[in-house]
């Protein structure tokens, strides 16, 4: 009798394991199907609740600087607001290899979601796919080209429209004529290149008296020193240049180079920048216009989206990601667009405190 009872118990245990395995497989298949159909929602993994405290979400930023310090501020606020177990990882070196190394560690830890602002989106794709195969939600920012490989890419705006803002403001500052140069952090940085191309195309179409001095953008390496040194090279090669635009947040380096050459009042600069990074240059006239979106809000929105997807609640057209400019997401495939561009000049720079 005892043997028969033991046999029945073992049979029930085996059936339970079998059904659990089938349930897990179904969840994985549903997640894959969601990716192939272009929806941003995923099924809930296992039997987890919707309690944010039950989920571990990690944001990997590009590098250590003021921009990503502000992003970390927003992510810390998300943790306070919701109780989500969310944190930030900063690579020792601002490159894809360092970000991949961090991702590998997080995959081994089996976190619930990884958010990342890629230095080189294409280089991260194999590791992103590895994470998703392990059942980890992946959300990117500044990387719309990864949309087919991630659960969601969160963007502050449509890149073409933002790129055209560089062009419009530079053309206005230059009076619609003269030579100009464009900078990016690196040629592999997807959003920087998208803004650069949109700006150049807009100028070519609308301002025939403006001439780009190079066939491709100059790289400043995402550093003030890099922007400064590259600007000195451009000034030496083109002493009659009339304007610069920088798609990385390092236009202050260009302003410093212009000040050293006595051209800060005559050569115009439009740059991506935090208000705190550009205030001095805007007020002394060496920078004409600053553009950005709030890194804190972008980090908040991306990590909150990761939690929604990991918990099975999902992200859909019109979802509120609880951050300014991301309260009514426009979903196109696996890209969620906010409406969060910011523009500032000497006249309104004191209105910003970040």
**Residue-wise pLDDT tens digits, 165-187:** 999 999 999 999 999 999 999 99
Nearest partner of 169 among 210, 230, 141, judged by Cα: 210
- Check pLDDT > 60 for residue 215: yes
Report pLDDT for 217. Answer: 98
Measured on CA atoms in the order 56, 61, 65, 70, is the torsion positive or negative? negative
When pLDDT is averaged across residues 258-284 and rounded to a whole number, the result is 96
Three-state SS for 50?
coil
- Cα gap 216→34, rounded to integer Å: 38
The pLDDT value given to residue 34: 42
Q: In whole angstroms, give the CA distance from residue 77 to residue 152.
A: 21
Q: Which CATH superfamily is domain 159-292 in?
A: Response regulator (3.40.50.2300)
CATH architecture for residues 49-156+295-339: 3-Layer(aba) Sandwich (3.40)
Distance CA 24, CA 13 (A): 17
Let me know if 249 is exposed, middle or buried by CB neighbors in 10 A (0-12, 13-18, 19+).
buried
Query: For the chain, which residues make up each domain, given as ranges?
Result: 49-156+295-339, 159-292
Closest by alpha carbon to 292, among 222, 342, 345?
342
Distance of CA 322 to the CA centre of its chain: 17
Domains 49-156+295-339 and 159-292 share a fold: yes
**Average model confidence (pLDDT) across the chain:** 89
Identify the band that residue 48 occupies on the pLDDT scale cut at 50, 70 and 90. Answer: low
Query: By CB neighbour count within 10 A (0-12 exposed, 13-18 middle, 19+ buried), where does 141 fall?
Result: buried
Calculate mean pLDDT across residues 80-102.
Answer: 97
What is the pTM (predicted TM-score) of this model?
A: 0.84
Q: Model confidence at 49, in pLDDT bands (50, 70, 90)?
A: confident
Tokens (6 digits) for 318: 């019109």
**Contact partners, residue 2, CB within 8 Å, separation at least 6:** none
Q: Assess whether pLDDT exceeds 50 at residue 336.
A: yes
Higher pLDDT, 42 or 265: 265
pLDDT higher than 70, residue 64: yes
């Amino acid at each position: 009798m005892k043997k028969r009872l033991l046999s029945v118990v073992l049979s029930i245990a085996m059936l339970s394991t079998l059904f659990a395995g089938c349930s897990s497989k179904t969840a994985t298949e549903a997640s894959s199907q969601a990716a192939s159909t272009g929806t941003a929602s995923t099924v809930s993994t296992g039997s987890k609740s919707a309690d944010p405290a039950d989920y571990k979400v990690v944001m990997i930023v590009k590098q250590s600087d003021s921009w990503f310090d502000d992003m970390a501020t927003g992510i810390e606020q998300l943790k306070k607001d919701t109780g989500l177990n969310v944190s930030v990882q900063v690579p020792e070196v601002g490159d894809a290899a360092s970000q991949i190394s961090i991702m590998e560690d997080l995959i081994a830890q089996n976190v619930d979601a990884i958010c990342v602002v890629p230095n080189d989106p294409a280089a991260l794709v194999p590791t992103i796919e590895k994470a998703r195969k392990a059942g980890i939600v992946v959300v990117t920012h500044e990387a719309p080209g990864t949309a087919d490989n991630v659960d969601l890419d969160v963007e502050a705006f449509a890149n073409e429209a933002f790129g055209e803002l560089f062009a419009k403001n530079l053309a206005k500052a230059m009076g619609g004529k003269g030579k100009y140069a464009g900078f990016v952090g690196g040629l592999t940085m997807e959003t920087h290149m998208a803004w650069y191309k949109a700006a150049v195309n807009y100028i070519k179409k609308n301002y025939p008296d403006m001439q780009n001095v190079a066939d491709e953008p100059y790289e400043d390496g995402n550093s003030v020193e890099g922007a400064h040194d590259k600007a000195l090279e451009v000034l030496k090669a083109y002493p009659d240049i009339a304007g610069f635009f920088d798609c990385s947040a390092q236009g202050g380096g260009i302003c410093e180079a212009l000040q050293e050459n006595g051209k800060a009042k005559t050569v115009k600069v439009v740059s991506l920048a935090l208000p705190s990074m550009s205030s001095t240059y805007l007020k002394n006239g060496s920078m004409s216009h600053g553009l950005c979106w709030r890194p804190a809000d972008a980090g908040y929105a991306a990590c909150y989206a990761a939690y929604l997807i990991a918990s099975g609640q999902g992200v859909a057209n019109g979802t509120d990601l609880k951050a300014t400019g991301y309260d009514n997401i426009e979903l196109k495939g696996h890209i969620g667009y906010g409406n969060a561009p910011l523009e500032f000049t000497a006249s309104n720079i004191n209105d910003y405190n970040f």
